[in-house]
Amino acid sequence: MASSSMLKLNAASSSWIAGHQSFNQRPGSAGPLRSRRVSVIRAGSYTDELLKTAKSIASPGRGILAIDESNATCGKSQLQMERSSWTVCKMRILYPGIKVDKGLVPLPGSNNESWCQGLDGLASRSAEYYKQGARFAKWRTVVSIPCGPSALAVKEAAWGLARYAAISQDNGLVPIVEPEILLDGDHPIERTLEVAERVWAEVFYYLAENNVVFEGILLKPSMVTPGAEHKEKASPETIAKYTLTMLKRRVPPSVPGIMFLSGGQSEAEATLNLNAMNQSPNPWHVSFSYARALQNTVLKTWQGRPENIEAAQKALLVRAKANSLAQLGKYSAEGESEEAKKGMFVKGYTY
């Protein structure tokens, strides 16, 4: 893999992303102490491959398979155990990857908030995952609106995501950047927009500080919705409007793809909201990376019984087809089951 170089702005010139004061500027001064400059930063040897992989994953008709690193057992990594599945994935144009964070723990000095651990040893682990066939990584952290969020929690979330992204790219893995803004709370959609803009501004500021190549990442954001306990629900058109407003204000068009999480919405809600966002062209491919909103009806249909497997497979195909159409803006909720319309929000939900 040939190495390549990319032009990127240094810390002073990247400050527009977060609305931060430049590190080269004294408080209260009118401008930076020295002139703004453009640095030539040599990208890693994986850059060309990262750009190709991220663009391919973000293209309609592609898929990904994420394996949870924490599920390794018996001294043998789950990656090794899943190699045969990965071969099938590649045949079906799926990209294998791995969740590399070590989960959420309490953040000292915060307002009962959390931070995500897992940076220790991440470089060596990522290098090994790449050798075994992984081509992307996933790292989930969360921000809670009822808890503030505090400046400390937002900065910790953004910095952790940026370090993870830089380490992943340095080892050939496309990082999926996921700061989930939890649905908990009774706040209006305007408050969610305010917090989302703040969080994503901080995230991209620190991504730039860590020389992350924006063309070689993927985003997994929350949709901008009212808090789950807010007295008024928002329509798909309203959620699409606020979400796209946030993205256009904060996400550079060089990012190839945005794959939304569902975060406790019902299956139908998540699909309708995605569909509303794709009624007009966007700078990025706007798609989905749902868990509960893709699996809920399937798991309830299956119930772990062999005789229900075929029915569960059909239920999965229904949800997959619905969201496939939604990413093209061609979905209709006509014929959706009552189960698909049931909300899945759980206050204080963890996994």
- Higher-confidence position of 80 and 339: 339
d(C-alpha 208, C-alpha 158), whole Å: 11
- CA distances to 21, 29, 62, 141, 181 from 221, rounded to whole Å, are 25, 35, 19, 11, 8
Q: Please say if the pLDDT value at position 123 is more than 60.
A: yes
Share of the chain above pLDDT 90, in %: 57
- CA distances to 4, 70, 73, 82 from 137, rounded to whole Å, are 22, 13, 20, 16
63 has which bridge partners? 94
Average pLDDT of every residue of the chain = 81
Q: Which of 178, 202, 267, 269 is catalytic?
A: 178
220 a catalytic residue: yes
Give the pLDDT score at 30. Answer: 43
- By C-alpha distance, which of 42, 214, 256, 46 is closest to 130? 46
Give the pLDDT score at 349. Answer: 56
128 a catalytic residue: no
Structural contact between residues 239 and 270, judged by C-beta atoms closer than 8 angstroms: no
Q: Please say if the pLDDT value at position 201 is more than 80.
A: yes
Q: Which of 82, 113, 202, 220 is catalytic?
A: 220
Q: Label residue 212 by pLDDT band (50, 70, 90).
A: very high
